[in-house]
Structure 1
């Protein structure tokens, strides 16, 4: 099986043109109210230490536009200054430009409908990985082997053979692994909250 296009996409933070306006996404309708972006409930362990927990419910993402998963309110709280749809092969993607104290960074959200989270935990890819839990959902956190404070991705087990993935690559800027993964966890939790409301 070839290396996932997602991991290749993370090696080059996009500067591609948008295919849709940069206006915010509508808030999903429902009784549960506006999703929030508070600190996510997360845990982590070695990739081989434990299996993924059973997911609370399946949340298929076949028809999901990743840019719709971060609402206007969430964008304001997460300091998103720009959002643009992109595409890598057949995977739907959204690139979010985020304002930080030192510089703007790009966070990428991918709806991967071709493989499950377990693909990142098998040990046959050029990544180090760990099992995590995001708001009760099993997840994989992973980063390229040999890197120090430059990348992290959080992939959530949303449905059989599918994962919702958030990636961050900051070449040349040494963030701690904890800070990188904390950022991807936070965006993953926000996207998951919107997906559950929808």
Structure 2
């Protein structure tokens, strides 16, 4: 009689849910060589423009960034990606352009929206149907873009706030020790002669 139970050697098969709702599935994005060249050029342009913008938010530097963002919008529209993925990127770009068109340059708002854009670019790059070497090259470009943005953050400084109210007067301190006796003063002048005595 065998000491082993043959039923113990049987393992159940792993269960993989087939419902798309349980495991989100984002399809990869096919991309042409021309689209890759455009994408590289846009990332490189952003890497150059962003530090200039934060150092000097002139109308020309703002327009340069908006022009590059418009090229990025066209690039996103040209991708064979889901409509929701495209809409997400286009919404970030639209928000960024709206912030840039504000008469007052709000560096913190621009910084936050650019960070959202970089996160989006990183996400779609990982979905591109490309070889590993090309993927690594694009990831390095995006890392350089991230570094340029973070280094530009040192330029972000808000206006000086108003002077705060004066503090309350402090309590009177304890009485000090008696000082040392001073040196003797010089001898005074001789006084006037007194009146003559009575006779």
Q: If the length of structure 2 is used for normalisation, what is the TM-score?
A: 0.27
Q: If the length of structure 1 is used for normalisation, what is the TM-score?
A: 0.27
Structure number with the higher helix fraction is 2
